[in-house]
Chains A and B, each alone.
Chain A
Amino acid sequence: MAQESARHRILCPRCDAPQEVSRQAKSVLCPSCHRNIATADLEIDEYCARIEVFTAGRLRVGKKGTLIAEVRAEEIQVKGEIKGPVRSRGLVALEKGARLFGSLACPRLRVAEGAQLVGSVAAGPGAAELLAGTGAPPEAGPGRAAG
């Protein structure tokens, strides 16, 4: 079996600057925006309210987890609740019983039956093209009232 490389490439969740880091690193400094980047996978299984939760790793919100924050991660799995804007570069999986209240932007979305999703969504491989076609973000849709 091929041995997993000791280093991997990450993108800064704030400025998208790439860099190679050790797989064992828990956090690094972005060479572009000079902000701290968490590279570890996060698991939230309790109430957690923050301004932002940004990680270059994966985020998992457990069944008992409630996360109130602006969220950015490589991949996100939700079994509990997220309130706030969510952005991912990979898969966002809403499992049965998951609740997501806020806008969502991701290239891959999977929603299981029984999940709740309230907010604007731009998801899927063709989302960027659809958005480019309208030139407007999804919150400008016909069903939304002003204010």
Chain B
Amino acid sequence: MADNLSAGPGVTVIGADCSFKGEATFEGSMKVEGKFEGKIQSKGKLSVGKAAQVSADVTAGQVHLEGSFKGNLSAMERIELAASAHVHGDIRAPKLVVAEGATFVGNCHVSPDALKAGAQGSEFVVPMAATPIKK
């Protein structure tokens, strides 16, 4: 997946000075550089830029995160968290790539049958809580 979607035809861009509240659906690709609050649903590619702040429930084909994200994230193909990504919420996808330096707090279900399990209504299984990290 291309790391950065360039603003070409078929790419929806929410610019750095733009704030969006609501529900978004798209066919091709979408790049968020500003603020987004609400819901995103697509089979395409979603890219969240470094300075972006997204608070949403997202269902997409592929997701590339570099900025701040809060909410539940579900991808049909893969999710990529860059080193600058901050994610607070649940992740569900068949493939996940996390770069060293990314922050992720939440439940994670990454396995080939992750979406099948989600469709059947099975919830996240957390066997035991790890002891919190002491600084």
Q: Is A127 an interface residue (CB 8 A)?
A: yes
Q: Is B129 an interface residue (CB 8 A)?
A: yes
Whole-angstrom distance between the Cβ of A81 and the nearest chain B Cβ: 12
Residue interface mask A83-122, B partner, CB < 8 A = 1 = 1111101010000000001111111111111111111111
Q: A84-B127, A111-B98, A143-B90 are in contact. Are A118 and B108 (CB under 8 A)?
A: yes
Main secondary structure of the interface of A (DSSP, over half): mixed
Main secondary structure of the interface of B (DSSP, over half): loop
Q: Is B39 an interface residue (CB 8 A)?
A: no
Whole-angstrom distance between the Cβ of A110 and the nearest chain B Cβ: 4
Whole-angstrom distance between the Cβ of B132 and the nearest chain A Cβ: 6
Whole-angstrom distance between the Cβ of B87 and the nearest chain A Cβ: 9
Q: Which residue of A lies closest to B71 (CB)?
A: A142
Q: Is A131 an interface residue (CB 8 A)?
A: yes
One of B98, B124, B127, B130 near A144 (C-beta < 8 A): B124
One of A85, A111, A114, A143 near B127 (C-beta < 8 A): A85
Q: A124-B101, A143-B72 are in contact. Are A103 and B106 (CB under 8 A)?
A: no
Q: Is B17 an interface residue (CB 8 A)?
A: no
One of B110, B124, B130 near A143 (C-beta < 8 A): B124
Chain B interface size band reads 35 or more
Q: A114-B95, A120-B108, A127-B105 are in contact. Are A141 and B124 (CB under 8 A)?
A: yes
Q: Is A139 an interface residue (CB 8 A)?
A: yes
Q: Do B133 and A117 have beta carbons less than 8 Å apart?
A: no
What is the CA–CA distance of A115 and B86 in the complex, to the nearest angstrom? 20
What is the CA–CA distance of A93 and B101 in the complex, to the nearest angstrom? 12
25 A-B pairs in the complex with CB atoms less than 8 angstroms apart: A84-B127, A89-B133, A101-B127, A105-B132, A106-B133, A111-B110, A113-B95, A116-B111, A116-B112, A118-B110, A119-B126, A120-B106, A120-B107, A120-B126, A121-B108, A122-B132, A126-B86, A126-B103, A130-B105, A134-B88, A137-B129, A138-B105, A139-B107, A139-B126, A143-B92
Q: A105-B132, A138-B105 are in contact. List 20 more A-B contacts (CB 8 A).
A: A87-B130, A103-B128, A105-B130, A109-B102, A110-B98, A110-B100, A111-B98, A111-B110, A115-B96, A117-B110, A118-B108, A120-B107, A120-B126, A121-B107, A122-B104, A123-B102, A128-B133, A130-B103, A139-B126, A144-B124
Residues of A within 8 A of B (CB): 16, 70, 72, 83-87, 89, 91, 101-128, 130-131, 134, 137-139, 141-145
CB-CB nearest 9 A-B residue pairs: A124-B103, A126-B103, A111-B98, A143-B90, A145-B123, A105-B130, A85-B130, A103-B130, A130-B105
Residues of B within 8 A of A (CB): 72, 78, 86, 88-90, 92, 95-112, 123-135
